[in-house]
Chain A
């Protein structure tokens, strides 16, 4: 016999449904009200809706474009340029911050008191300074105070640091360079087979092959050998002073340099703490047990400590990468032409299409966040320690 049903005003299921209906109705009603206002206001200002504006001519120049771009390009192209610039500074920033962060994080755990104290000072200093302060400092107080091109600070005769940016030599591939690339691909395949063979050999006979060093040697020496054999088909384009600026080589504009420096230094401080927490999370007993079994320090690290530390380190590490990508939007403050500055800044001001521009911009960041979240969930599920 089923239990009696309560009167509907006391039934929790009914209450839940009623509550949700009310909330949804409220949200929808608010939504309708806001959209009505929005359409009315846009109309009153003569601003059209829709994404047609993306085909219109942008009419302004940008000082860093990874694809061809000029005043006659469309707003759609501006979007792509901004997006590429954001990805550029984020990608470079992630690489630099990771390297610096790991170095500082490991230094923090060093037995050398001086080294670990300096690392701690680094972390405490840069974590507690707002990123915007650091960006403005590097840009206004450092890079804009550099000498003009005619009195550039130089390293040898090919690296120049000036007010207009950092000029570096850039290699230009000539005919026959493709062979070196092919050699590199062949080296990668060779290394994969080598590692597999070494592993099988160890399982069968127990002998350990120095596959790491050998792989490194193959990856470096094979392409190098082909490079020299084809007559060194790479020309270094050096920056040279012409008139008021440098031509040739590659120019790193001060905005990019300042943004990259600030982002890397700031995020590295957080990454250092993440790395430190990861290594400390592996209990000392694990190192002792591995040592008691006769494993060398290096093998202990590789086989016991690092696999366990990685589980704890990767999730917050990817979260820091996400933060760095979002923080790159502060480029607006110094005029680096990233997505927010070019699209949600200049384009929005010129076209007034606030809704479309902002939703496109936010959608980009949401997609990046989503991709990274999915990766993290996949990673966590895959490496979770099996417990009962």
Chain B
């Protein structure tokens, strides 16, 4: 269990910066004027009702979705339609999905070494050694030769985290990582994520796990209807929410 520590910020540039970002699906205005600056080592938890655009926002950061207005800058590189930029950014940004998205035709080890071999051009032996280290970090080194179909949901999600870490990203994005898991497996994944926060990784998590937010987050952001409504340190956010909508949302998820 870690206490939320202030992040070590570089005074000049944030690790991830969104400025005046708007996005439309057809004519539906899904992101409205998003302004966000994430410093290196900061842990941000994003919450909000479904349809509020929180998943869309973090998916814009690694260009799984494209924004139509505004600027997104990751580690000094601006995100545009330029394929070279997109690929560079994706090497530095790791993503963990709600439905794991492991490659079912490859073993766990092969899942982890695929990108390092083909994108970072790492020799196979080195890639496998590094992968085993990360699999140990997420506590399933013994499953390295198994296929995803043979693992439980919690195990698969931990493999997914290890797979992203093998690319040594500077930022990790989590899109509702525990929403598809059975309750008894949520803890094992959250423990891994807390361990990751301890190493100083910059993290953006979309999640409903408020316990995790209280433990680990530097800032909690509440989004509704495409806008950032409120952002604050966890203590202030949970105990003294400022907006009516935030109060309503918190009362809905904290009291069941």
Contact = CB atoms under 8 A, between A and B. Distances in A.
Interface of A: 202-208, 283, 285-286, 288-296, 299, 303-304, 307-308, 311, 383, 385-388
A388 to B, nearest CB: 4
Given A295-B119, A387-B149, A203 B124 contact: yes
B149 A292 contact: no
Contact of B118 (A203, A303, A308): A303
Contact of A294 (B87, B102, B124, B127): B87
Nearest to B104: A385
Given A205-B123, A385-B105, A291 B64 contact: yes
Given A204-B124, A293-B119, 10 more contacts: A205-B123, A206-B120, A286-B101, A288-B64, A289-B160, A291-B62, A292-B94, A383-B105, A385-B104, A387-B149
Contacts of B105: 307-308, 311, 383, 385
B131 to A, nearest CB: 13
B103 A286 contact: yes
A212 to B, nearest CB: 14
B124 A202 contact: yes
B90 A292 contact: yes
Contacts of B160: 289
A289 B119 contact: no
B147 A206 contact: no
Nearest to A386: B147
Nearest to A286: B101
Contacts of B164: 292-293
Nearest to B121: A206
A203 B116 CA distance: 11
Contacts of A294: 87, 90-91, 115, 119, 167
B150 interface: yes
Contacts, number: 93
A202 B126 CA distance: 12
Given A293-B164, A295-B115, A387 B121 contact: no
B97 interface: yes
B74 interface: no
A293 B147 contact: no
B123 A206 contact: yes
Nearest to B149: A387
8 contacts: A202-B117, A288-B64, A293-B119, A293-B163, A295-B115, A295-B118, A308-B104, A387-B149
B99 to A, nearest CB: 6
A289 B101 contact: yes
Contacts of A299: 118-119
A317 to B, nearest CB: 18
B125 interface: yes
Contacts of B94: 292-293
B167 to A, nearest CB: 6
Nearest to B95: A292
Interface string B134-165: 00000000000001011000000000100110
Q: Top 6 closest A-B pairs, CB basis?
A: A387-B149, A289-B101, A293-B115, A203-B124, A292-B95, A285-B101
A387 B151 CA distance: 9
A296 B87 contact: yes
Contacts of B205: none
B149 A385 contact: yes
A299 to B, nearest CB: 5
A285 B119 contact: no
Contact of B123 (A204, A283, A286): A204
Interface in B8-29: none
A294 B87 CA distance: 5
A25 to B, nearest CB: 48
Nearest to A310: B105
B214 to A, nearest CB: 28
Interface in B80-126: 83, 87, 90-91, 93-95, 97, 99, 101-105, 114-115, 117-126
Given A385-B147, A386-B149, A291 B122 contact: no
A70 B60 CA distance: 73
Nearest to B96: A292
A172 to B, nearest CB: 47
B97 A203 contact: no
Contact of B103 (A202, A203, A289): A289
Given A203-B123, A285-B97, A288-B97, A388 B117 contact: no
A294 B62 CA distance: 9
A202 B124 CA distance: 7
A285 B100 CA distance: 8
Contacts of B64: 288, 291-292
Interface in B38-64: 62, 64
Interface string B227-242: 0000000000000000
Contacts of B99: 285
Nearest to B103: A304
